[in-house]
Structure 1
Amino acid sequence: MSSSSNKKAMNGKSILAPVLLACAGVAYPFLVYAAMGRVSTGALVLLALALVGARFAMLRNLAVARTLAVPVSAVFVGTAALGLVDGAMATLAYPVLMNFGFAAAFGWSLLRPPSLVQVLASVTEPDPSPAAQAYMRKVSAVWCLFLVVNALVTLALALWGEVVFWALYTGFVSYVLMGLLFAGEWLVRRRVRRAHGEGA
């Protein structure tokens, strides 16, 4: 096999892994809803831990590995510890912990620059202007706030709501809200770039 073929195969694998992990994350709430009362809570906790472990493994070769390693590890430990006390709650708490973990990463990056958004953007924009860095800090703050609110809503549904509503919110509504936030930020970014003469 030629080197170009090897590169294509490696690129295909590198794209496939995050896509499969994202699909697993979306499917997780619905799997929990379908399995509650039919499958042992221990098995569901192991599923949650496997997802956290897969996320941690995927981070190894990313620029954000150092920033996200601690919060992802904390999510793993928190889920495992809660699983020993209350397996059912641990399965419902997994999305809560993930949201709080990533919110903590965004928040910490604001205290210890560069911001997480700047780290993520460093692949295509390694030397952003001061204006761009300030904008990225604002976007990081928005994501931090969004994830905290998302975690609190998910926590409320886990504690006081029906599992079906928890599943619908965590597996569908929250992703729609994230998509809207991504789209809104993209539109704002275009306006900011035009305002600073950087193009669209």
Structure 2
Amino acid sequence: MTRLRMLVFGALSLAYPLLVYGAMGRFDPRWLALGLFVLALMRWLATRQAQWAVVAAGTGALALAATLSSQTLPLKLYPVLVNAVLLLVFGGSLRFGPPVVERLARLQEPDLPAFAVVHTRRVTQVWCVFFVFNGSVALMTALWASDRVWALYNGVLAYVMMGVLFAGEWLVRRRVKAAHSHG
């Protein structure tokens, strides 16, 4: 049941921009804000991870702002919040270690060779740059773009870019492994 719940939360989180776009003009922003806050709170309760507690608190602030103003702008800032939290998590791991990507790699291979540790650090740095870029564009679309452009970027293009980054890293990782397996 927990796995199913996580899949549902993940799917709703991924679809968030498209769901908000579809609901704009049909539902009062206060109801959308309540739904967003409930989703974030449930995700935190399901995972009990610190970063999701921060997202739930930030989401609560956005939901309160949307409720008080009856505007959708606070709801459109949610992707900015998520990118900021991910930047803090990944960036903090670079400073206080081990890097997030190294922790994930060690789940598959507990005894990572030195070259792989260096590679995971670089990949974590690349993700930090991505979160800065993506969060900045998400902010610009929330503030200055149409609702349609906001939904397109945050609900489609940002995920395509993440997929390209994952695929690119996978290809680079294969080359790094191959280069070190022969020498």
What's the TM-score, normalizing by structure 2?
0.88
Partner Cα distance (1:103, 1:170) in 2: 17
Aligned pairs for 1:73-84 within 5 A: 73-84=53-64
**Counterpart residue number, 2:151:** 167
1:43 lines up with 2:27 in the alignment: no
**1:156 alignment partner, one of 120, 140, 144:** 140
Aligned pairs for 1:1-200 within 5 A: 14=3, 16-60=4-48, 65=49, 69=50, 71-87=51-67, 88-197=72-181
Partner Cα distance (1:108, 1:122) in 2: 18
Partner Cα distance (2:134, 2:108) in 1: 29
The answer to whether the 8 Å contact 1:79/1:93 transfers is no
- Unpaired runs of 5+ residues, structure 1, are 1-9
- Where 1:86 maps in the other structure, the secondary structure is helix
Quick one: which amino acid aligns to residue 100 of structure 2?
A: L
Distance 1:183 1:127, change over 3 A: same
Partner Cα distance (1:19, 1:111) in 2: 31
- Where 2:181 maps in the other structure, the secondary structure is coil
The answer to whether the 8 Å contact 1:95/1:151 transfers is yes
Quick one: which amino acid aligns to residue 19 of structure 1?
A: L
Task: Give how far 1:122 is off.
Answer: 2.2
Q: Which stretch of structure 1 is more off in the superposition, 172-181 or 21-30?
A: 21-30
> What is the root-mean-square deviation of aligned Cα atoms in Å?
1.9
Partner Cα distance (2:158, 2:30) in 1: 26
The answer to whether the 8 Å contact 1:110/1:140 transfers is yes
The answer to whether the 8 Å contact 2:21/2:147 transfers is yes
Task: Give how far 1:40 is off.
Answer: 1.8
Partner Cα distance (1:147, 1:39) in 2: 30
What's the TM-score, normalizing by structure 1?
0.81
Task: Give how far 1:58 is off.
Answer: 4.5
Task: Give how far 1:90 is off.
Answer: 2.1
Partner Cα distance (1:94, 1:106) in 2: 18
The answer to whether the 8 Å contact 1:29/1:171 transfers is yes
Quick one: which amino acid aligns to residue 107 of structure 1?
A: G
The answer to whether the 8 Å contact 2:20/2:32 transfers is yes
Instruction: State the Cα deviation string for residues 94-120 of structure 1 (Å, max 9, x = none).
Output: 111001101110000000111001112
Instruction: State the Cα deviation string for residues 170-190 of structure 1 (Å, max 9, x = none).
Output: 111111000000000000000
Partner Cα distance (2:44, 2:112) in 1: 28
Percent of aligned pairs sharing the same letter = 43
